[in-house]
């Protein structure tokens, strides 16, 4: 059975039950005190699980379990007060988001579970979502809402962490039973207080039987939702199932409008939509981040380490391209290469082809039996990304594409018989809008792939995409092999002017998770994935020749270079092409900083093959 369908159905039922909780409370037969009291007593049904497992736990753990159950009921009491005084589409999403935050913080402090970058990212989504809902609440209710939802979230989050602690040190059935007993004991203790018993008395005694039936029916719906949620956890990883919890608040949003006639106009409507989007995204990030953290491969597995070499970049750095290349091959000894067939270099004049540079590069690779990925097209590695010869600059889009086709064909025919040819790469990150590039017509990539296949059906074709921001699906669905980039520190066009160089807030497991999803959606489970660009040089606002050496080193220290390698090893791919060999040579020969060069040499010595 599909876990996603079961998980969504469970969230539909739980969201529906939450809306009907609001309906029942709104009628006034049950007040929040009685609602929480009866919910606590319903924990007695957990005793039916006793025959199915050993419920004996250490005495030291009993107090924690009882406290978890009691705090859960107290958190629900405040939740029902918030629900009683406010709209379901405001109070429930706030508590959901903030309880996730409190559970995260308490887990970090009490269980010493580290907060990852993904969780930090999701944290801010939840905070912003909650703040939006606070500000669209009526001014007179705002302080009360802040207090009720905040303390409810703290209690529920703390209860969740204590429950997790109990489960870590006992069986599921034993922990579940004792936690529920904690809620039952709290309800019974509260019943001994005369003032509390008065609060349980209904103001509409004649309607209590009817409302009790509604209450029990709604608890049944919630119970089925909880069961389906647990069943979805059985079918898939818990973190994956938890990532779809935001769907519950979409249901609350819809049925809050249909059944409760809550406010959904103007500023309030857009505020709720924005807040639900933030909270949905935050819960999704939390769940997927937790799941990606479980996707681990052996960091000591055989890995092939290669690199990209660009004559365009050696020219920018003022290096001799041939001596740089030979030094890289002989001193570093990479196990695979990516080379680039630049249009402006090979066809500087129309129909006048000059393969002299690339012939030397390919010949030196052949002498060393090095497999080569040869990139061809208009958009290729290194700035300005699109390397067009001057004679096509004034041509129309269609004319440029028409002139590109014979160039690609000539390159493929020229190198098809090379013993070092390993893969063709057609275009570089063709779906990423980056660089100084002309507009491209629809279907240009498919046309180029078809052209390469028609001339050389024997070699596979690699299509690449941006690792962190690309969707991967369009690229992976077209090629035989998929290549992702992997950059850690970047200068963003949007955030860079405000924050400078920033680091992507995602862990290495995110790449494995993305690979799983993309293979599922493309229907190509056996397609090979590799990292075609692994950042091993600094990225800042100005180009490397224009940036002070101290700034370059601060942005990409030798220690951070090692962190990047460790990150890549944890990301799970078996083949990596480092991006920065020319810079290592530049730092070694021009600035007497050989650390990067030496570290790369050690890495290639450990490479498989």
DSSP string, 485-524: EE-SEEE-TTTHHHH-EEE----THHHHHHHHHHHHHHT-
Phi/psi-derived region of residue 237, left when phi > 0, alpha when psi is between -120 and 50, beta in every other case: beta
Report how far residue 181's alpha carbon sits from residue 511's, in angstroms, rounded to the nearest whole number: 43
**Tokens standing for residue 238:** 């818990």
pLDDT digits (tens, 9 = 90+) for 56-71: 899 889 999 999 999 9
Region 304-494+507-537+559-605: CATH code? 3.20.20.80
| Residue 523: predicted pLDDT | 96
Instruction: Give the C-alpha separation, 21 to 355, whole Å.
Output: 75
Residue 118: partners with Cβ closer than 8 Å, 6 or more residues away: 285, 286, 288, 289, 290, 292, 293, 505, 506, 507, 510
**281 touches 125 (CB < 8 A):** yes
Integer CA distances (angstroms), 209 to 45, 206, 212, in order: 21, 7, 5
Across the chain, which has 609 residues, the per-10-residue mean pLDDT values are 78 87 74 82 85 86 93 89 76 72 72 64 71 64 77 86 84 86 93 82 57 80 78 62 71 78 71 79 74 72 96 97 98 98 98 98 98 98 96 96 98 98 99 94 96 98 97 98 97 86 87 93 96 98 95 97 96 96 98 98 91
Q: Look-up: residue for tokens 């992702």?
A: 484
Return the closest-CA partner of residue 578 out of 320, 375, 304: 304
CA distance 330 to 347: 30
Is there a contact between 425 and 483 (Cβ–Cβ < 8 Å)?
A: yes
pLDDT of amino acid 50: 86
Asked if 68 and 106 touch (Cβ cutoff 8 Å), the reply is no
d(CA 209, CA 196): 21
**Domain segments of the chain: what residues?**
3-292, 304-494+507-537+559-605
What's the pLDDT score for residue 238?
54
Residue 502: count other Cβ atoms within 10 Å of its Cβ. Answer: 14
- Give 13-46 as a DSSP string: HHHHHHHHHHHHHHHTSS-HHHHHHHHHHGGGGG
Give the per-residue pLDDT at 210. Answer: 66
- Under 8 Å between Cβ of 96 and 249: yes
Query: Taking a C-beta distance cutoff of 8 angstroms, is the pair 66, 181 a contact?
Result: yes
The DSSP-derived string for 290-331 is HHHTT----TTS--EEEEE--HHHHHHHT--HHHHHHHIIII
Q: Which residues of 110-123 are buried (b: 16+ CB within 10 A; e: fewer)?
A: eeeeeebebbebbb
Q: Cα dist. 290→125, 427, 506 in Å?
A: 16, 34, 11
């Amino acid at each position: 059975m599909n876990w996603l369908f079961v998980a969504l159905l469970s969230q539909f039922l739980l969201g529906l039950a939450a809306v009907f909780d609001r309906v029942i409370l709104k009628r006034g037969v049950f007040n929040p005190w009685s609602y929480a009291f009866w919910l606590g007593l319903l924990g007695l049904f957990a005793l039916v699980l006793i025959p199915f497992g050993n419920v004996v736990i250490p005495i030291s753990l009993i107090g924690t379990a009882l406290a978890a159950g009691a705090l859960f009921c107290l958190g629900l009491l405040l939740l029902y007060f918030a629900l009683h005084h406010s709209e379901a589409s405001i109070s429930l999403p706030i508590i959901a988001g903030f309880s996730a935050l409190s559970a995260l913080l308490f887990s970090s402090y009490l269980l010493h579970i580290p907060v990852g970058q993904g969780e930090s990212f999701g944290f801010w989504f939840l905070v912003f979502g909650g703040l939006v809902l606070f500000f669209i609440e009526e001014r007179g209710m705002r302080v009360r809402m802040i207090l009720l939802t905040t303390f409810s979230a703290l209690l529920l989050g703390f209860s969740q962490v204590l429950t997790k602690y109990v489960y870590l040190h006992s069986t599921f059935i034993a922990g579940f039973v004792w936690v529920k007993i904690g809620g039952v004991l709290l309800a019974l203790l509260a019943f001994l207080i005369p003032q509390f018993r008065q609060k349980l008395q209904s103001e509409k005694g004649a309607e209590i039987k009817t409302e009790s039936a509604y209450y029990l029916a709604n608890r049944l719906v919630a119970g089925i939702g909880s069961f389906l949620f647990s069943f979805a956890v059985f079918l898939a990883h818990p973190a994956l199932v938890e990532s779809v919890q935001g769907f519950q608040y979409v249901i609350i949003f819809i049925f809050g409008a249909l059944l409760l006639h809550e406010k959904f106009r103007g500023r309030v409507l857009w505020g709720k939509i924005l807040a639900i989007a933030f909270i949905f995204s935050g819960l999704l990030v939390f769940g997927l981040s937790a799941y990606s953290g479980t996707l681990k491969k052996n960091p000591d597995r055989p890995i092939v380490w290669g690199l990209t070499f660009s004559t365009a970049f050696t020219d920018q750095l003022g290096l001799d391209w041939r001596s740089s290349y030979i030094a890289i091959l002989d001193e570093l000894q990479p196990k695979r290469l990516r080379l680039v067939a630049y249009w402006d270099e090979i066809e500087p004049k129309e129909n006048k082809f000059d393969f002299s540079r690339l012939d030397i590069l390919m010949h030196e690779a052949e002498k060393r039996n090095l497999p080569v990925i040869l990139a061809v097209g208009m958009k290729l590695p290194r700035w300005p990304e699109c390397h067009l010869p001057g004679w096509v600059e004034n041509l129309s889009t269609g004319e440029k594409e028409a002139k590109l086709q014979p160039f690609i064909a000539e390159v493929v025919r020229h190198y098809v018989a090379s013993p070092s040819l390993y893969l063709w790469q057609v275009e570089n990150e063709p779906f990423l809008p980056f660089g100084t590039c002309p507009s491209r017509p629809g279907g240009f990539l498919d046309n180029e792939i078809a052209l390469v296949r028609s001339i050389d059906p024997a070699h596979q074709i690699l299509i690449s995409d941006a690792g962190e921001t690309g969707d991967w699906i369009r690229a992976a669905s077209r090629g035989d092999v998929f290549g992702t980039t992997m950059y850690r520190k970047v200068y963003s066009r949007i955030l860079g002017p405000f924050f400078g160089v920033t680091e992507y807030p995602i862990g290495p497991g995110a790449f494995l998770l993305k690979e799983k999803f993309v293979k599922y959606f493309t229907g190509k489970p056996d397609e090979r994935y590799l990292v075609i660009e692994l950042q091993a040089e600094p990225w800042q606002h100005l180009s490397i020749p224009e940036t002070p050496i101290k700034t370059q080193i601060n942005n990409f220290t030798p220690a951070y270079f090692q962190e990047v390698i460790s990150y890549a090893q944890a990301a799970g791919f078996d083949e990596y092409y480092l991006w920065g060999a020319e810079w290592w040579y530049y730092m070694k020969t021009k600035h007497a900083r050989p650390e990067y060069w030496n570290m790369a040499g050690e890495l290639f010595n450990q490479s498989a093959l």
